[in-house]
């Protein structure tokens, strides 16, 4: 294809295949790339996909098992289910308005073999809500925190747990939130150690990072069991 050079070896190098980022591509280009990836027998994920992309993909009749997640705006096509991670990944949102980004993270994690659970609407405006989940969060290997407005939830969670926290600023908020920049800066300036930050609304990247962390933990545990 003159418009795309597909990286079919990414799964070999990194443990997960190339993912289609839909914005900026025509529907025809997305379907052509989707088809090329699927022809290799692997799983396919398309992010930020509008409903009409999925409608046209369905019309090809080639991918009857493909699923569209309206909230996450993702198209997923699973041909070879991966070995499931041993732990569940908590994806925490400050508010219900942050759910689309959390949904993208959940779909991404699950197609990579990482079970995930969204814990919604426990932002700092009602601090008792996150404190009520503290025991559950403290059992995790890694946590994704999705928050807009001032983005303070990542620091609060980071101060309660002994695992890495991946913070995702969202573009949710009124004018002075500057489309997520306020939350981004708050998270970057977190006083809680162990909080790392991805780009605004980037649930996808947070999920990939969290999955890679859990895979390393699972691999180390397996090696230890075998040595014993």
pLDDT in tens, 173-221: 999 999 999 999 999 999 999 999 999 999 999 999 999 999 889 888 7
pLDDT band for position 83 (50/70/90)?
confident
Q: Which residue has the higher pLDDT, 167 or 215?
A: 167
In this prediction, residue 221 carries a pLDDT of 78
pLDDT at site 90:
96
pLDDT of residue 220: 85
Do 197 and 217 form a contact (C-beta atoms < 8 A)? no
Asked if the model's pLDDT at residue 37 lies above 80, the reply is yes
What is the C-alpha to C-alpha distance for residues 117 and 227, in angstroms, rounded to an integer? 32
Give every CB contact of residue 166 below 8 A, 6+ residues apart in sequence: 142, 143, 144, 145, 196, 197, 198, 206, 209, 210
Give me the pLDDT at residue 136, please: 92
Q: What is the mean pLDDT of residues 57-83?
A: 91
- The full set of domain ranges for the chain reads 10-77, 89-216
The helix/strand count (H/E) of the chain reads as 9, 9
Helix (H, G, I), strand (E, B) or coil at 166: strand
Q: Percentage of residues in the chain with pLDDT exceeding 70?
A: 100
How does strand 165-169 pair with strand 195-197?
parallel
Whole-number average pLDDT of the chain: 92
CA dihedral 103, 106, 110, 113 (to 10 degrees): 160
Q: What is the rounded CA–CA span in Å between residue 26 and residue 12?
A: 28
Return the CATH fold of 89-216.
Rossmann fold (3.40.50)
pLDDT recorded at residue 12: 79
Residue ranges of alpha helices (H) inside 40-174 are 51-59, 99-111, 127-131, 134-137, 153-158
């Amino acid at each position: 294809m003159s418009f795309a050079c597909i990286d079919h070896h990414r799964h070999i190098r990194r443990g997960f295949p190339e993912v289609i980022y839909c914005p900026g591509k025509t529907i025809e280009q997305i379907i052509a790339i989707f088809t090329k990836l699927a022809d290799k027998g692997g799983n396919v994920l398309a992010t930020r996909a509008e409903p009409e992309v999925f409608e046209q993909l369905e019309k090809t009749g080639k991918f009857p098992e493909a699923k569209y997640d309206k909230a996450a705006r993702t198209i997923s096509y699973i041909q070879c289910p991966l070995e499931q991670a041993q732990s569940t990944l908590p994806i925490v949102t400050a508010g219900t308005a942050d759910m689309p980004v959390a949904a993208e993270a959940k779909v991404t994690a699950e197609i990579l073999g990482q079970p995930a659970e969204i814990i919604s609407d426990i932002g700092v405006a009602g601090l008792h809500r996150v404190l009520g989940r503290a025991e559950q969060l403290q059992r995790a290997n890694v946590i994704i925190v999705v928050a807009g407005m001032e983005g303070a939830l990542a620091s609060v969670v980071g101060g309660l747990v002994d695992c890495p926290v991946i913070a995702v600023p969202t573009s949710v908020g009124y004018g002075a939130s500057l489309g997520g920049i306020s939350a981004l800066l708050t998270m970057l300036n977190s006083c809680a150690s162990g909080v790392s930050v991805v780009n605004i609304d980037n649930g996808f990247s947070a999920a990939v990072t969290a999955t890679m962390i859990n895979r390393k933990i699972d691999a180390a545990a397996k090696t230890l069991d075998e040595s014993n």
